[in-house]
Amino acid sequence: MNKSILRLKNQHKNKNSVKIVGLVGLAGSGKSEAVRYIKSKRYPHVYFGGVVLQAIKDAGLEINPVNEKMMREKLRADYGKDVIVNKIVEQINKLIESGQKRIIADGIYSWTEYKILKKNLPIEMKVIALVPPKSMRHKRIGARPDRAFTPAEINDRDYNEIENLEKGGPIAMADYFIVNDGSISSTHKKIDKVLREIGF
């Protein structure tokens, strides 16, 4: 009887604790589709790339891959490597204050951002990395109808994300890995399995 009561108390505690799921991966890994799917479950989300896009709009520039790369590096050079994650932390805290218990963090870029999120948010955060084969990821990027990249641009973006944006660290340290090499429905099933394990 006592064990049953304790189990029920733990279930209640887990249900009411705040949890964040952070999605990471290089360009073309399927993060956007994963976020779209989890959002369809009516969870709120914060978007790291949205900070960069807003800065481009505020500067009166055209949104394109060149300006995105330039602005990401400019923001970090002008305000420090933690500039984007600090804005995201503010957004997450506002969601928590509004009563949200489950939050999606889309687009954790750098090792610095990963460490700040883990250190400064008094919540349970789990990182999920989407890792399709490189050839499949590049094929997806090259076929984008709205933001297609050339092969040279794809390689340049990969190197830039790993070397300048420290994007490899959060991927390497992810709590869960989803090999996104199948159909959308199979990826959704893998996502659901991970979310169940997390208690999200």
DSSP string, 143-160: T-SSS---HHHHHHHHHH
pLDDT given for residue 122 in this prediction: 59
Say what the alpha-carbon torsion angle 177, 184, 132, 162 is, to the nearest 10 degrees.
-80
Q: What is the pLDDT of residues 14-63, one digit of tens each?
A: 445 889 999 999 988 998 899 899 999 999 989 888 999 999 999 999 99
pLDDT given for residue 1 in this prediction: 46
Dihedral sign computed on CA atoms, order 45, 49, 53, 56: positive
The neighbour count for residue 173, using CB atoms within 10 Å, is 14
What's the predicted TM-score (pTM) here? 0.78
Q: Collect the ranges in the chain with pLDDT lower than 50.
A: 1-15
pLDDT given for residue 51 in this prediction: 92
